[in-house]
Amino acid sequence: MREQESINISIESDIKTIAEAIFEQFGMTKNEAIELFYRQVAMTKDIPFIQRSLNEETIKAIEEINEKDNLKTYNNFAELRQDLEV
């Protein structure tokens, strides 16, 4: 058996409730759903969500990333949250 690790996350209560109800409809526990997400990311080296359309803000963000000279970086997630004021 492979070595297991634990993760600890915080999430809004209403999102958790809705998501867990959907997991239950698929016969999955939240642990199984999170592991499925992680496995998909590891397998595809990408975030497993379909981008249906790009709004103006997203297009601008992609253009900024492609320019790279103006790309803002952060040392950690806390710095990003502080910059976004969330």
16-56: per-residue pLDDT in tens? Answer: 999 999 999 999 999 999 999 999 999 998 888 876 777 88
pTM of the complete model:
0.55
Dihedral Cα 64, 66, 70, 76, nearest 10 deg: 90
pLDDT confidence of 85, banded at 50, 70, 90? confident
What is the C-alpha separation between 73 and 76, in angstroms, rounded? 9
Count Cα neighbours of 27 within 13 Å in the Cβ-side half-sphere: 0
Angle between helix 13-25 and helix 30-44 axes, rounded to 10 deg: 90
